[in-house]
Amino acid sequence: MNWSDQLLESLRSNDVDLTIYVPDEVLTPLIRGAEDDPNMEAFPASREEEAIGIAAGAALGGRRSVVLMQSSGYGNSVNALASLAVPYQLPILMIIGERGVLGEFNPVQVPISRSIRPSLDAMGIPHRTLEREDEVAAVADRMMLQCFRTQLPAVLFINALLTGGKNDR
Amino acid sequence: MASPRDDLAIMSRKDLTARVVGKLKNDEAVVAGIGNTNFDLLDAGHRPQNFYMLGSMGLAAPIALGVALAQPGRNVFGLEGDGSILMNLGTLTTIAAQAPSNLTIIIWDNGLYQITGKQETATSSVTDIVAVAAGCGIPNSAWATDENHFESLVETAINTHGPHFIAARVDDASATARPERNPVLWKDRFMVGIGSKPVQS
């Protein structure tokens, strides 16, 4: 199974039936897969912090969701994580398509990409980076389990080595 | 261009908050935004179905949307100040597009970032927040012209399909109540109150 189908399978087996996304080209197969799944409700939010807010409300209401975004959009979500998800102990599962790393062509993608992991570490939010297809299912499944059982946010990075990244050539 | 807002009565936010709570009969969830909005909700009498947002300015409407999507059988109210909704206007487009029938957003518009020192917001001069909501695609968007009209709008929101958007011009009286600054306490009480978490013995 390719990486996006493995992630969709992990989402299903962890009872996630709501996908809130801010579009990202490398995550397109995952977004499309979520939208095509009749058991998954999937829609875009206008901004990443809004997506975190919707996911927080869903969690409060007892529904499991996932937030999809591009690494550049992480910067738009920090206050929602720092003043809502973390202090209220809400299981916000985030899947972030990575830009600004191996093979990046656009300089504006790089600084935020370098700041994400130190920022997550400072807030105590666990994260793993998926680079190989043979690790996706096991890591994703455990990360989702941890997120929902510990009631804390968690992040999966989808690296360019896994997706091929975005190509400008 | 004159806004309909110019001719509206300025009402008491504390009184209108109590009027919302007084209309709730079916364990409706209420998500109250940062500052005086959630202080006044507590002042109206704590309900287990209240969620008090201690931070994350601008996210009361998105949180209310999430609760509404998680519990489609329960009416959900999101209360926000004008400064807060201006921080996340895009969420009105998301609410319009998803159109949850059980969601109502209420905006307390005093034209001020009240709690930070009463700096004026754009709604104090040029922006009509009801016109914004209608333009985003929420057709059931209305200004409350007085207290009785406000109550009838809340009743309509409870009894008919939404989403609904209600705005009221309010005063800048400082709220007196303060929720305990304990996020997990309020999360747990809210989740028990709306049945998404069992009561721990």
- CATH code, domain with A25: 3.40.50.970
DSSP letter, residue A47: S
- For residue B74, the model assigns a pLDDT of 98
Q: Residue A153 falls within a domain, yes or no?
A: yes
Beta strands A154-158 and B76-81, pairing class: unpaired
Distance CA B170, CA B16 (A): 9
Q: Residue A140 falls within a domain, yes or no?
A: yes
pLDDT beyond 90 at A169: no
Contacts of B56 in chain A (CB under 8 A): 49, 53, 79-80, 83-84
- For residue B1, the model assigns a pLDDT of 53
How much is the mean pLDDT over chain A? 96
Q: Which two tokens stand for residue B174?
A: 């400082």
Q: Residue A169 falls within a domain, yes or no?
A: no
B196 CA to chain A: closest CA distance, Å?
A: 5
Assembly ipTM = 0.97
* Cβ–Cβ below 8 Å for A60 and B51: yes
The number of domains in chain A is: 1
Q: Residue A104 falls within a domain, yes or no?
A: yes
For A45-57, the pLDDT digits (tens) are 999 999 999 999 9
Signed CA dihedral, A146, B184, A116, A73: sign only: positive
Phi, psi values for residue B105, rounded to 5°: -105, 130
Q: Residue A167 falls within a domain, yes or no?
A: no
Please list the residues that pair with A18 across neighbouring strands.
Answer: A41, A65
Q: Residue A134 falls within a domain, yes or no?
A: yes
CB atoms within 10 A of CB B4: 12
Q: Residue A88 falls within a domain, yes or no?
A: yes
- For residue A101, the model assigns a pLDDT of 86
The mean per-residue pLDDT over the stretch A84-101 comes to 96
Distance CA B143, CA B112 (A): 17
- For residue B2, the model assigns a pLDDT of 60
Phi, psi values for residue B126, rounded to 5°: -120, -20
Q: How crowded is the C-beta side of A109, counted as CA atoms within 13 Å?
A: 15
End-to-end Cα, chain B, rounded Å: 59
Burial A80-96 (b: 16+ CB within 10 A, else e): bbbbbbbbbebbbbbbb
**Given pLDDT bands bounded at 50, 70 and 90, which one contains residue A152?**
very high
Q: Is B182 left (phi over 0), alpha (psi -120 to 50) or beta?
A: beta
User: Check: CATH 3.40.50.970 for B4-192?
Assistant: yes
Burial B95-132 (b: 16+ CB within 10 A, else e): bbebebebbbbbbbbbbbbbbeeeeebebeeebbbbeb
Q: Does B190 touch chain A (CB under 8 A)?
A: yes
Residue A105 burial class via C-beta count within 10 angstroms: exposed 0-12, middle 13-18, buried 19 and up: exposed
Which H helix or E strand runs over A132?
Answer: none
A-interface mutation test, from B94, B103, B200, most A Cβ less than 10 A away? B94
* Cβ–Cβ below 8 Å for A45 and B51: no
Which of B91, B97, B196 lies nearest to residue A43, judging by beta carbons?
Answer: B97
- A-B Cβ pairs (cutoff 8 Å, strict): 123
Distance CA A125, CA A141 (A): 17
Contacts of A53 in chain B (CB under 8 A): 56, 59, 61-63, 65-66, 88, 91
Q: Residue A166 falls within a domain, yes or no?
A: no
Residue with tokens 């487009």: B93
Distance CA B194, CA B173 (A): 31
Q: Which two tokens stand for residue A13?
A: 């087996």
DSSP string of B13-75, one letter each residue: HHHHHHHHHHH--S--EEEE-TTHHHHHHHHT---TTEEE--S-TT-HHHHHHHHHHH-TTS-
* Cβ–Cβ below 8 Å for A88 and B65: no
Report the percentage of chain B scoring pLDDT > 70: 98
Residue A126's domain comprises 3-160
DSSP letter, residue B137: T
Contact between B144 and B166 under an 8 Å Cβ cutoff? The reply is yes
Q: Is B27 left (phi over 0), alpha (psi -120 to 50) or beta?
A: left
The mean per-residue pLDDT over the stretch A109-121 comes to 95
* Cβ–Cβ below 8 Å for B59 and A52: yes
Spell out, as residue ranges, where chain B has pLDDT lower than 50: none
- For residue A166, the model assigns a pLDDT of 82
